[in-house]
Structure 1
């Protein structure tokens, strides 16, 4: 039977309401999750404060979803019900959720790249439900069981950490010695963690926030304020192999490109709210490469969870929680440059 819950429902720019929602009946291959934690993502802020990009104005071509939608695509929780065909999960399992839907028939999907699906949709942006709710229903294939060593709080960080890990994997190999991360928000910190997990120890991180720089420094980065020093000056003669743009700021991207050494590589992870410009000739003589990175793979999810279980991706000092009724205030805090990461707790802990 359908079940009533509460969620943060997005109607358009500046319009997010806490309302009663009705969950659908379970399909045979679906599970119902009681949500423990759900992260507020930069893309949520972009939709709320700037303009709609991922949320559907009309019916989404894959999901059929249109506004209003329940937000929240970074979440963890506990399985409380299962469809009849679900055999690899059990009621009571604690899970992190990969929120993406792909079509299976476009060029990206048929080439084994569902993360670049032409109709890519997200549970919590363009799908039927979201994690900023007390409960939600997803396909069982989207749920990844959390081992005992990984808390539900850390489970809500798996999705953004997988974004960062996938991007780092696009540019890092065994020859990478020196890396730069522009931005020490959640994705930038995730890139720092992924770089360290890949064996890179010489990592530069810049951010405007002294608090965020302090967190990055605690995790082994050489940090600096970009208002005071340029990347090339901090390098002090070292060759920069890889740059990760995680700030969504055009100036960070152009500076990263200019600082890269021969055949250096930059990957763009930050969401930019407008176009930026750089001189393509600056890529030519050094054979610099610029990469995009879209979401993640199932293997990225598994790898992040395994690294969390081994003690990586420490949330201490950069993650805060807020109740569901304070979600709009949390959006304002984050937009104003407040906490590095806020997780919403839809139900009282």
Structure 2
């Protein structure tokens, strides 16, 4: 089969590899339908290896080269003899986390904090940027007919966004500010809207990304570098500031905007990942009694809930998808476009079968 494999910094190759096979009784073989390119994938491409294992991973034994792709929808083509929850032919969304089930965090229902955490498409034998992948039964969730293959591929980043908002919680009537209009930022805005936020504001300095965010039509999109930003936000919040801020840019300027914009005793969740230390005004945090909370991944049991929200139409995650390409173009039309500072795309989905006989 064809697979996009990460060999090292700036080195992703679409090459022929052996089709994976079921080895354990609780495994599922799937044919990939659509797979998203994630910010984590981009970090690996630009400066990696970071989380892709150079030495054998302690849980999976995987090492480079790594087939990438952890945001994907698929169709089940074979199941192991102990599999009960899915059948051949089912369309599924993939929960890519691989956990030990034995450590303290796994036993407390916090598998996303597993001490031996691994991930399909980052530190495992297979990934979604390939024609086929093998998963554990707990990693696949059946999609209802009302959820498309494209939406199924966005369940993973939609769950990241949802978990971030859930970490701080919002109430009906809250004003929510999202800093950074990347895919996670846009999905965070859509989720906050679904939960009943009165106003959702997106702060994005990149004019191309800002235009894409406006097209999603979830709320005002403002440039945080504009001299009138603070006044515009004050008008939207009656001078109080945002009740909740989801910091999705993973940058010091984004965090500064969050700190300057949240109301006294408001809440900030750090959803965007910082790849280097950030500067934080800790005195402001204390003086204004602000809650600043981290967010990592998602609850690995959350797929059915997120899928139900998508199926209801309340969480329109497909709005974050801006381009769909074939696997052979994954570097030139996917990775290279997404790492371009002009940032004229949100979520790029890749089909391993598009353009093939």
- TM-score between the two structures when normalised by the length of structure 2: 0.92
Q: 1:66-145 alignment to 2 at 5 Å? A: 66-145=63-142
Report the alpha carbon displacement of residue 108 of structure 1 after superposing the two structures with TM: 2.0
CA distance in 2, matches of 1:272, 1:24: 34
Q: Give the aligned CA root-mean-square deviation in angstroms.
A: 1.7
Give CA-to-partner distance per residue, 1:250-297, whole Å, 9 cap, x none: 111122112221221111111223211112111111111111111112
Deviation at 1:299, TM superposition (A): 4.3
Q: In structure 2, which of residues 322, 326, 345 is the aligned counterpart of residue 323 of structure 1?
A: 326
1:153-172 aligned at under 5 Å gives the runs 153-172=150-169
Q: How big is each residue's C-alpha offset from its partner over 1:87-133, in whole Å with a ceiling of 9 and x where there is no partner? A: 22111100000000112232322322111112211100011110000
Equivalent pairs, count: 345
> SS of 2:257's equivalent?
helix
Note if contact 2:233-2:241 (Cα within 8 Å) is conserved in structure 1: yes
Rounded to whole Å, the distance in 2 between the matches of 1:263 and 1:122 is 36
3-state SS, counterpart of residue 124 of structure 2: coil
Instruction: Report the 3-state secondary structure (helix = DSSP H, G, I; strand = E; otherwise coil) of the residue aligned with 1:17.
Output: strand
Match of 1:227 among 200, 225, 228: 225
By how many angstroms is 1:239 displaced? 3.0
Which residue of structure 1 aligns with residue 30 of structure 2? Answer: 33
For 2:228 and 2:9, how far apart are their aligned partners in 1? 35
Once superposed, which parts of structure 1, at least 4 consecutive aligned residues long, lie more than 4 Å away? Answer: none
The structural deviation recorded for 1:51 is: 2.7
Aligned counterparts of 1:309 and 1:347: Cα–Cα separation in 2: 25
Report whether the alignment pairs 1:348 with 2:354: yes
* Alignment pair present for 1:335 and 2:339: yes
Q: Give ranges in structure 2 of 5+ residues lacking alignment.
A: none
Alpha carbons of structure 1 residues 318 and 25: separation in structure 2 relative to 1, 3 Å = closer
Q: Any conservation in 2 of the 1:176–1:241 contact (CA below 8 Å)? A: no
More displaced, 251-260 or 20-29? 20-29
Bigger Cα displacement from structure 2, 218-227 vs 95-104 = 218-227
How many angstroms does 1:316 deviate by?
Answer: 4.3
Q: Helix, strand or coil: the match of 1:22? A: coil
Deviation at 1:139, TM superposition (A): 0.7
Q: Which 10-residue stretch deviates more, 135-144 or 236-245?
A: 236-245
The separation in 2 between residues aligned to 1:101 and 1:13, in whole angstroms, is 24
Per-residue CA deviations over 1:157-212 (Å, capped at 9, x if unaligned) read 01001000010001123266111101111100110111011110211101133343
Partner Cα separation in structure 1 for residue 288 and residue 278 of structure 2: 21
2:8 to 2, 9, 12: 12
What TM-score results when the alignment is normalised by the length of structure 1?
0.94
Separation of aligned partners in 1, 2:72 and 2:26: 20
Specify the alignment match of 2:316 in structure 1. Answer: 313
Note if contact 1:231-1:255 (Cα within 8 Å) is conserved in structure 2. no
* Range 282-291 or range 203-212, more displaced: 203-212
| Structure 1 unaligned regions, length at least 5 | none
Alpha-carbon distance, 1:140 to partner: 1.4
Cα 1:230/1:105, change in 2 over 3 Å: farther
- Distance in 2 between the 1:286 and 1:105 partners? 41
Matches within 5 A, 1:150-229: 150-174=147-171, 177-217=174-214, 218-229=216-227
Deviations 1:194-246 (A, max 9, x none): 10111102111011333433443343211112231465333211332111111
Structure 1 partner of 2:295: 293
Q: What is the CA–CA distance in structure 2 between the aligned matches of 1:122 and 1:321, rounded to whole Å?
A: 23
Is the 1:318–1:341 contact (alpha carbons within 8 Å) kept by the matching residues of 2?
Answer: yes
